[in-house]
Structure 1
Amino acid sequence: RKFEEALRKALRMVDENVNGFDPYIKSIDDEELERPTDKRMFVLAAALKAGYTIDRLYELTKIDRWFLEKMKNITSYYTILEGLDQAKLLHDVLLRAKQIGFSDKQIAKAVKSTELAVRKQRQENNIRPFVKQIDTVAAEWPATTNYLYLTYNGNSYDLQFPGEYTMVIGSGVYRIGSSVEFDWCAVGCLRELRRLGRKTIMVNYNPETVSTDYDMCDRLYFEEISFEVVMDIYDLENPEGVILS
């Protein structure tokens, strides 16, 4: 629901080794800023962290200033977090970090703590994501779907959590050596669970897969496959079981 949150989720989905819009992955190089590549985003993060102005970055990248301003919001807040230790992560500071897409792992890295410690503190502060339905018709008319996502930019859930589901974790993005055949394992699992009369939840984020078809499961979370997100969904849905693909 915020560009910053969506951008960072997308970066983590493409590569699970990335924490988001991270200024420490690549070094600054003006030539790399001028050439669009899959790594330019991280050069841009480093440049913003180092104090490059929006105007200078616009001249180098030709990326619209609106997007550059949103990216600057992320790196500026990263600097704020780096000046704190975990004891100073008050409710409002932690909530703001989550609303602009910081993962628990990235917050932990900034404040020199651990992901589990940040998760525990977040839960103690009652900072938890809300579940929203993806609007497949861009608000043209009311739509109810089983496409779901988590966000910290909300104040209510779009559905109830009755339990009694079985949760299946998908295999995420296609890679060399991990493609549609692994997704088909998850599809076979969903079909067998449905044949047995079980309600199913699929967690996956690859729109090219069969497992993310709307009619394959009862609830489909288009979400990151990470410890943080899977556990957040687990805590909300309280499924009867979890199957890892």
Structure 2
Amino acid sequence: ALDHVGLPAIIRPSFTMGGTGGGIAYNRAEFYEIVQSGLDASPTTEVLIEESVLGWKEYEMEVVRDKADNCIIVCSIENIDPMGVHTGDSITVAPALTLTDKEYQMMRNASIAVLREIGVETGGSNVQFAVNPADGRLVVIEMNPRVSRSSALASKATGFPIAKIAAKLAVGYTLDELENDITGGATPASFEPSIDYVVTKIPRFAFEKFPGAEPVLTTAMKSVGEVMAIGRTFQESLQKALRGLETGLTGLDEIEIPGLGSANHADDRNAIRAALGTPTPDRLRMVAQAIRMGTSLEDVHAMCKIDPWFLEQIAGIVAMEARIREHGIPEDAVNLRMLKAMGFSDARLASLTKTDAEVIQKAREKLDVHPVYKRIDTCAAEFASPTAYMYSTYEVPFAGALANEAQVSSRKKVVILGGGPNRIGQG
């Protein structure tokens, strides 16, 4: 198998969850060690030996099919981290942001073809793809013929109740017979969700609880929880998600790159290459730090293989941070609202201007800069939605008015406090 596939090789045990027992082998010694581990972990004593697609782009399609062969794509998901990191440990966004429409349609058709070939007659399935950014080659890397971890993310991201719909399809309904509860029955379940916002998922790790564990991400899942944030732009949802991790971050906070500070420029460059080339929980902050230090986006991309579009978005945040440090926060509502629309929290602005969050909050309130609430309705506001599933955003005014979709009433309110992302020792 090794002679046929070559090195590096991907070893994947059969019937294990989260990639347990698998890994990436870069030499023969690692190959034999990981294969043995995989055979021990697999209940059927089987492993798959696959070609390496390290550095390729990774996408997921959440598909629902009924007995009449009606198929819909509930949500497309894009991994910011390139192939080589388990999708449960990757930072992901929905919808996919770097696909052309032609590429999306090819992936959509391939997803539906996979369900038909596997024989998923009803219900939801998750199909994962790898795309070679050099030549566009598309390969199917995994298919889960069930409601999965990604299904939960897709349901939360779109408001489409995949598990509920799948249960009704299993007893004989078809998609066109079921109503979409989110739109109050204005659309059937066969109506593919439309998303006019960006969802970012960031995993939460607990390596501090395991001093002997190596904080390097591989094909075996290591995260213990995750956080999901919603914003009108990728920059906003990314910074909201980073804060939601509850690790003390206020955004793309500064981070020290190990090995920097030598007198030799080549040594510093090697340190940056090592930090960006190694998948770790803090790699995105390492990327931002490298950009702060003047590393070109071309070099950053060559080191980490993250798509240039995401790097440009991060560079935009870094450039705005530098501007805030130099000039302080804007004194007019339009520019301050623009900063808030990029996802900058009061705490982050306070950190950049060396002041307190309360000072920023008072300045914001003085200029009447407040968040508005947008509705998650599966149809991008094409139809009225009675469902109170909302997210806050500091949207820049369009046509002179802010569209606040929250319907304030005098009814009694209930506040439910969430526990944040799962972690070890919570409670």
Give the TM-score, by structure 2 length: 0.39
Q: Which residue of 1 aligns with 2:39?
A: none
1:42 and 2:285 aligned: yes
Q: 2:420 aligns with which of 135, 158, 172?
A: 172
Q: 1:142 aligns with which of 354, 358, 383?
A: 383
Q: Which residue of 1 aligns with 2:405?
A: 158
Shift of 1:138: 5.4
Tell whether the 8 Å contact from 1:26 to 1:42 is kept in structure 2 after alignment.
Answer: no
Shift of 1:146: 2.1
Q: Which residue of 2 aligns with 1:31?
A: 274
State how far apart, in whole Å, the 1-side matches of 2:355 and 2:315 are. Answer: 24
Shift of 1:49: 1.1
User: Aligned in 2, Cα 1:99/1:139: closer, same or farther, shift over 3 Å?
Assistant: closer
Q: 1:126 aligns with which of 363, 368, 371?
A: 368
State how far apart, in whole Å, the 1-side matches of 2:274 and 2:393 are. Answer: 36
Q: 1:13 aligns with which of 244, 252, 258?
A: 244
Partner deviation per Cα, 1:96-143 (whole Å, 9 max, x = no partner): 2101110000101111111011001001101111101123x3549736
Q: Secondary structure at the match of 1:83?
A: helix
In the alignment, structure 1 segments of 5+ residues that lack a partner are 183-245
Partner deviation per Cα, 1:52-77 (whole Å, 9 max, x = no partner): 11111111111111111111110000
1:115 and 2:357 aligned: yes
Partner deviation per Cα, 1:37-63 (whole Å, 9 max, x = no partner): 111011111011112111111111111
Q: Secondary structure at the match of 1:161?
A: coil
State how far apart, in whole Å, the 2-side matches of 1:97 and 1:60 are. Answer: 29
In the alignment, structure 2 segments of 5+ residues that lack a partner are 1-231, 261-271, 397-401
State how far apart, in whole Å, the 2-side matches of 1:126 and 1:37 are. Answer: 40
Give the partner amino acid of 2:340. Answer: K
Q: Which residue of 2 aligns with 1:102?
A: 344
Give the partner amino acid of 2:283. Answer: R
Aligned length: 176
State how far apart, in whole Å, the 2-side matches of 1:13 and 1:175 are. Answer: 13
1:73 and 2:316 aligned: yes
Partner deviation per Cα, 1:185-221 (whole Å, 9 max, x = no partner): xxxxxxxxxxxxxxxxxxxxxxxxxxxxxxxxxxxxx
Q: Which residue of 1 aligns with 2:327?
A: 84
Q: Secondary structure at the match of 1:165?
A: coil
Give the partner amino acid of 2:407. Answer: Q
Q: Secondary structure at the match of 2:408?
A: coil
Partner deviation per Cα, 1:203-245 (whole Å, 9 max, x = no partner): xxxxxxxxxxxxxxxxxxxxxxxxxxxxxxxxxxxxxxxxxxx
Give the partner amino acid of 2:244. Answer: M
Larger mean CA deviation between 60-69 and 9-18 belongs to: 9-18
State how far apart, in whole Å, the 1-side matches of 2:305 and 2:292 are. Answer: 19
State how far apart, in whole Å, the 1-side matches of 2:393 and 2:256 are. Answer: 28
Partner deviation per Cα, 1:125-170 (whole Å, 9 max, x = no partner): 01111101123x3549736232211001252111211142122222
Question: Which structure dedicates a bigger proportion of its chain to helix?
Answer: 1
Larger radius of gyration: 2
State how far apart, in whole Å, the 2-side matches of 1:170 and 1:68 are. Answer: 32
Q: Percent identity?
A: 30
Give the TM-score, by structure 1 length: 0.66
User: Aligned in 2, Cα 1:15/1:25: closer, same or farther, shift over 3 Å?
Assistant: farther
Tell me which of the two structures has the higher relative contact order, counting C-alpha pairs closer than 8 angstroms and 6 or more residues apart. 1
Q: Secondary structure at the match of 1:169?
A: coil
Q: Secondary structure at the match of 1:150?
A: strand
1:51 and 2:281 aligned: no
Q: Secondary structure at the match of 1:166?
A: coil
Give the partner amino acid of 2:414. Answer: T
RMSD: 2.0
Q: Which residue of 2 aligns with 1:62?
A: 305
Q: Secondary structure at the match of 1:168?
A: coil
State how far apart, in whole Å, the 2-side matches of 1:109 and 1:140 are. Answer: 36
Tell whether the 8 Å contact from 1:132 to 1:148 is kept in structure 2 after alignment.
Answer: yes
- Runs of 4+ with >6 A deviation: none
State how far apart, in whole Å, the 2-side matches of 1:140 and 1:167 are. Answer: 26
